[in-house]
Amino acid sequence: MTHEISGIHHVTAIAGGPQRDVDFYTGVLGLRLVKLTVNFDDPGTYHLYFGDEFGRPGTILTFFPWPGASRGRIGNGQATTVSFSVPEASLGYWTERLSAHSVSFEAPRARFDEEVLAFRDPDGLPLELVAHAGGAPGVPWDESPVPREKALRGFYGVTLSEESAGPTASFLTDVLGFRQIAETDARSRFAVGPGGAGSLVDVLARPGKAGGQTAVGTAHHVAWRTPTNEEQVAWRERITGYGFHVTPVIDRKYFRSIYFREPGGVLFEIATDLPGFAVDESPEQLGAHLLLPPWLEPERSRIAGALPPLRLPELSRTR
């Protein structure tokens, strides 16, 4: 391989009601709805993409909303926490904001060289805001209700919970090119590419704990970035060569994807940076309309008619 994975591309999770999801991630956390589409494999449900101003890789948290579905169980073999980057000294603002929106949270605590504020979204998905020095992969949305100097700036990292850390750690370092950079108690931290926010994964060893069950309030998969189609094909060949089953390349319209499970059971994806989310609507209009891939356009009327109504928040520059 001539190129490394360059960090997190996106994380996908399962939500309950789509309206509650939009209200929380845009209205409370201040992310932009950068794409309103459907699950290409199951077009009876939305696929919602939240991110920064332009939906840059490294900022995108996506959801399949399944109204009426059961709550999942968070446990081993899952990505169990999604961590966002926020500026240093911003957690005071965020404790006040979460309190104002009746969101419960844990008191900020130190971890490695960062300060962490932990809470859950309305469906129970564990989230963190990590205040730290240095850069981040995203640029805040201009129309966010959160002031730019306090806003989420993309991912900081993800946490994987495992029965045993060893096999996953070896896979990350030997196959995917990560490097271990820190360790404390049962938590081991790995970085890839340039390092820093957006490139980090923590592996948390939890022997004897129950395995997770993927449903509402849990993460579905973690996607890693690769720059080109050619690099993605090379990654597929490399991972297959180590004896892992990898899907064929799948066209997701905004990126191309391959999927596989790491040794502990977490579903991984490697996604291309291009073509990006402006391929079918202008940057100014991202997330403003229901977009479908060409192969589903002939069924637009049926698909749109079956989806629950969705009201997009009217946000302004007034903070």
313 vs 78, more confident:
78
Residue given tokens 């820190």 in the structure block:
182
Bridge partners (DSSP) listed for residue 161: 78, 204
Q: Tell me the pLDDT band of 248, cut-offs 50, 70 and 90.
A: very high
Residue 318 has pLDDT above 60, yes or no: no
Q: Which helix (H) or strand (E) holds 117?
A: strand 114-120
Can you read off the two tokens belonging to residue 253?
């319209």
Residues 264-297 have pLDDT tens digits of 999 999 999 999 999 999 999 999 999 999 999 9
Tell me the whole-structure pTM to 2 decimals: 0.96
Q: For 100-105, what is the mean pLDDT?
A: 98
Bridge partners (DSSP) listed for residue 128: 83, 118
**Which pLDDT value is given to residue 316?**
44
**Which pLDDT value is given to residue 1?**
52
Contacts of range 228-236, beta carbons closer than 8 Å, 24 or more positions apart: 228/272, 228/273, 228/274, 229/256, 229/272, 231/1, 231/3, 231/272, 232/256, 232/258, 232/270, 232/271, 232/272, 234/1, 235/1, 235/5, 235/270, 236/270
Q: For 97-105, what is the mean pLDDT?
A: 98
Residue-averaged pLDDT of the chain? 95
Could you tell me if 1 and 52 are in contact, meaning their C-beta atoms sit under 8 angstroms apart?
no
Fold of 8-306: 2,3-Dihydroxybiphenyl 1,2-Dioxygenase; domain 1 (3.10.180)
**Which pLDDT value is given to residue 317?**
38
> What is d(CA 123, CA 19) in angstroms, rounded to the nearest whole number?
12
**Which pLDDT value is given to residue 27?**
95
Residue 180 has pLDDT above 80, yes or no: yes
**Which pLDDT value is given to residue 2?**
57
135 vs 167, more confident:
167
Q: Tell me the pLDDT band of 4, cut-offs 50, 70 and 90.
A: confident
Q: For 153-165, what is the mean pLDDT?
A: 98
Helix (H, G, I), strand (E, B) or coil at 301: helix
First to last CA, the chain: 47
Residues 30-74 have pLDDT tens digits of 999 999 999 999 999 999 999 999 999 999 999 999 999 999 999
Q: For 297-314, what is the mean pLDDT?
A: 92
Residues 115-148 have pLDDT tens digits of 999 999 999 999 999 999 988 999 999 999 999 9
**Which pLDDT value is given to residue 23?**
96
Q: For 157-176, what is the mean pLDDT?
A: 98
